Structure 1
């Protein structure tokens, strides 16, 4: 009997965007390549009529006869793998959990190698410190949560916990908040800063420094998760509750807090969460001792904070949005910058009829119109539909049309009118209409008027007064975590201002728990947890949002009904999963398509496995958003 010859076959991830289910392709390893190829190696592969780069994901052995139809790997680009086994495991975890193509994930995580850089990869030799250290992985190392109230406390914590002999990752929600001064001075020359703002060449240089082991500390945003770690010892997540850690507008919709838990598990690294105001979930896990915790959550920021009851302003016949207390606060802040914060750009938040209560909504997507005075028309901020301001109500024909709510353009106009020409201040509006086109005059003080986009564009060291002009705007949005988000921004303003600045909050609901708990955060968290437990929201259930869009409203509804049937069959008999929907998204119609949403509530004891099972069965065309920021908004 003839002995069958064996062939080694590599499963290679092409650095191209493919459907999720086409994660990798099989290629034969020629004898000379088979001797030295490893998981994570960068190889050149023939694909159709061209040659492409790919990452080796795995190997298997088969009979030579069974591999005759397979193409062979052309060459190994670099002898040393680009990613360790641990980092490859992390890539697979993110791909499966966020329903994202492995090829797309690898391509966007690695530098866009040109010929010169590929040659450099082949020739460069790693330092000894870059070698993979054999640590136990897939073992949960209990995270630590550190509550701070000053920047010096962050510095002290990092100085006491950094391990200079191993790799460390320091994550920030935005590159503007990546402050190298927080790290001990002696570690500055071991640190690289990573963000999407880097040029291709700068990113390659920084990536190479980590790959060869010259730099041990990576600081930056989401892109930092995918650096070539081989000996990752500690992960520090600064400002853990910041909403910007969740990617909502682009795939993959990664929740960074969730992803770092996967990363720590793959590497056996210790997680350190740091914040002045934790998320509700992290507070719960700290309180239940799932996390260790240090520091004082109830420490006072010492920021003078004033609540202004706008109902009292109305009783005094002040029907504008600038209270008497705010006018006085502006006068008492002559030598420092002022920041007016609001949630809406435009002139008025919405337009309606005072006679019948009808509010003008976009005919295309059913969202509220916002009035823009500079172009004298109503604009839908979802689908960009524009219409002229109507002279009468189309519902009741009444003439009592009014503009309600405060927009950034209206705020700018009224504040200029209030200050007049005598005030030597530059007024700067920062919102999505002009986020990158303003210039700051360093010779004068400033008044910034802005939405959330302005938060990290102002110099907080120069701010003497922050005013939330209309804090109620986000208070009654039907979203389970809206109170948490407002609570975070208010507390973040207190932290950034410190004792040298003042926070002024204008509200018609001064007795709301969000405002009453600013200096008693534990009170807020306990109340939120009671409500979320009753309603089945995090941290008691993990949320998985699934959605499908189609130009045909009926087709979308049929697709959603079919998936509901599929999910109920998959989870039959499982008491730890609740399936809700289908429900129309908000907006229901956007970019020419109708969208249906399904929400899965999964108990945390087995959420990862159940999430992957659901996503593996999801039909083509569906999108997933694990741990979404909002349930119905897309």
Structure 2
């Protein structure tokens, strides 16, 4: 008898499992069992995937030891590993290494595994539901009500601070739970992993990594703040979106999936319209009545060329002794330096994007390539020495806000919060200038006003999702201000844009319909399914393009893109063909090609 074993070690994307001989004295070996296997000159742990009569190779080494007779991994999770491996073009061994608890020989000897509870007869779960909340109290009540029900439940958030907030609500409600995320210590992860595996915990609150915990049984998944980009694993393979993995876990375990947020994503809105999701009763939508829109063109006509409109100055003066968020979605001092003579921006030598100016250190930086260079004083095209600054970043706005603090005689500190200042101390109250980085760190309960300094810079990002992300961010601000009864002020030069028309009408469906129709015309999600392929050389991506085009002549392929690594292709699938077609395409790809389904950026 042979066992197909996944070694718990990082492997190339095209290597997954290996066959080993089951010793005659091993007894019954089941899928999911933890074993010790010889691996080159050392010994590794591995997980048995299946038991079979014949091996795939002529000579197989024997298993060194059966570490535990009871399966460590439930059957549904083995199926999940296989799905992710095939769909995201990632080694099953590398995935298993990340999903299994941090194994140490000393701890393994003392590890007690109870028999896995027999999973209830798997039934197709009911259609996913969606709950819209307008206030934190509605979000809390819905969550607590569901997590108090009998069974085992998983509550997923996008960020760690949201998980800690939810844990506080559960403590107040007397619900036993654990919190699980990647920032826990190794011991905390080990203890939580074992408690879930042995069925000792019935409520888990966590971020996307909690989806890979070995639940013996799972009754429901609550997926909160579904529009947050942090649900996407964008910086390391496998490049999955937690919402898609949650759907798969739901299908494999029979758990009911409940999505919830302050505003639905466009994909969820389309699913609701098509009857694929059900909408929960008593759901409410954030009101936009506290949102004020200021036309900056009128400010310029009045001679006001500062970063802040007269309406913003009035709001700042009214809130001078309270916390204010000045939202700016660009770091640095100025977004670009442009030659005053020939209008050529100072560009990154690698990607050709404008370099961002940092005044304090007299430096130019590319946020895309992480390149830094001293301040350029001579234009590379016309040799001119006069430059103009375009676009205000967080550092310039923080400087302006500090001046306003002195003008209005506020005693609160000005704090700049962006990824350039990750370790800055957060006071209990202040005037906060920040990017998205600030949203998980500021004391929201103290914020009485939000000023979006340049809304247009969010709208004009070169991404097909820019409009949806901008609307979602503004509605997030509205949701936050529902509790404190604060105001949200948007400064724009394009007040006739359909986004602002939807905000003025206090009707989110108006925006959703506009954006959905635009996506349909351009064949973008949710009307289609996008997959981005990345390769290290132009020749390789060209060869991949030729192979895919030959195998799928009707598939819409855009690219190749890129003047430097990574070189990429964009595939547009019809939703009814993506599952089968992508698996076949992935089987054609070399091991070092990255596959990014549902990419955040094109």
Above 0.5 in TM-score? yes
Query: What whole-Å deviation, never above 9, does each CA across 1:415-462 have from its counterpart, x for those lacking one?
Result: 112222842111111111111x212344xx301111111111111111
What is the CA-CA distance between 1:73 and the residue it aligns to?
A: 0.9
- Is the contact made by 2:74 and 2:215 (CA closer than 8 Å) also made in structure 1? yes
Other-structure match for 2:44 = 52
- Asked whether 1:344 is paired with 2:344, we answer no
The Cα of 1:300 is off from its aligned counterpart by 4.1
TM-score normalised by the chain length of structure 2: 0.95
Q: Quick one: which of 91, 96, 100 aligns to 2:90? A: 100
Q: 2:314 aligns with which of 301, 309, 328?
A: 328
Aligned to 1:4: none
The 1:304–1:283 alpha-carbon spacing in structure 2 relative to 1, beyond 3 Å, is same
Displacement of 1:185: 5.4
1:79 is aligned to 2:72: no
Work out whether 1:432 is the aligned partner of 2:432.
no
> Is the alpha carbon distance of 1:80 and 1:164 closer, same or farther for their aligned partners in structure 2, counting shifts above 3 Å?
farther
Q: Secondary structure at the match of 1:92?
A: helix
2:18 aligned to 13, 25, 28, which one?
25
1:455 aligns with 2:424: no
RMSD over aligned CA atoms reads 2.0
| Maintained 8 Å contact 2:29/2:51 | no
Taking the TM superposition and a 5 Å limit, the aligned residue runs for 1:485-500 are 485-498=469-482, 500=485
Question: Number of residues paired by the alignment?
Answer: 596
Q: Distance in 1 between matches of 2:288 and 2:434?
A: 25
- TM-score, structure 1 length as denominator? 0.90
Choose which of 509, 512, 522 in structure 2 pairs with 1:535: 522
Q: Hey, what's the Cα distance between the residues in 2 that align with 1:255 and 1:59?
A: 32
Question: What is the SS of the residue equivalent to 2:188?
Answer: helix
Q: Aligned partners of 1:428 and 1:612: how far apart in 2?
A: 48
Q: Can you list the C-alpha shifts for 1:323-374, whole angstroms capped at 9, x where unaligned?
A: 2221111111133211111111100011113443322111232121000011
Q: Name the structure 1 match of 2:551.
A: 570
Contact 1:471 1:507 survives alignment (8 Å): yes
Distance 2:77 2:591 in 1: 28
Query: Are 1:405 and 2:405 counterparts?
Result: no
In the alignment, structure 1 residue 158 sits paired with structure 2 residue 150: no
Match of residue 133 from structure 2: 148
1:620 matched to which residue of 2?
A: 591
Tell me if structure 1 keeps the 8 A contact 2:325–2:449. yes
Return the alpha-carbon distance in structure 1 between the equivalents of residues 476 and 550 of structure 2: 45
Q: Deviations over 1:505-544 (max 9, x none)?
A: 1111112122222321100110111111111011111101
Q: Secondary structure at the match of 1:338?
A: strand
- The verdict on how the C-alpha distance between 1:568 and 1:441 changes in structure 2, with shifts beyond 3 A counting, is closer
Change (3 A) 1:473 1:186: closer
1:561–1:424 CA distance, 2 compared to 1 (3 A): same
Structure 1 contact 567–614 (Cα < 8 Å) conserved: yes
Task: Decide whether aligned partners of structure 1 residues 303 and 110 sit closer, same or farther in structure 2, where only a CA change above 3 A counts.
Answer: farther
How far, CA to CA, are the matches of 2:406 and 2:142 in structure 1? 47
Distance apart, 1:120 and its partner CA: 2.4
Q: How does 1:270-281 map to 2 (within 5 A)?
A: 270-281=256-267
Identify the residue that residue 5 of structure 1 maps to in structure 2.
none
2:410 to 395, 401, 423: 423
How far apart, CA to CA, are the structure 2 residues paired with 1:530 and 1:186? 43
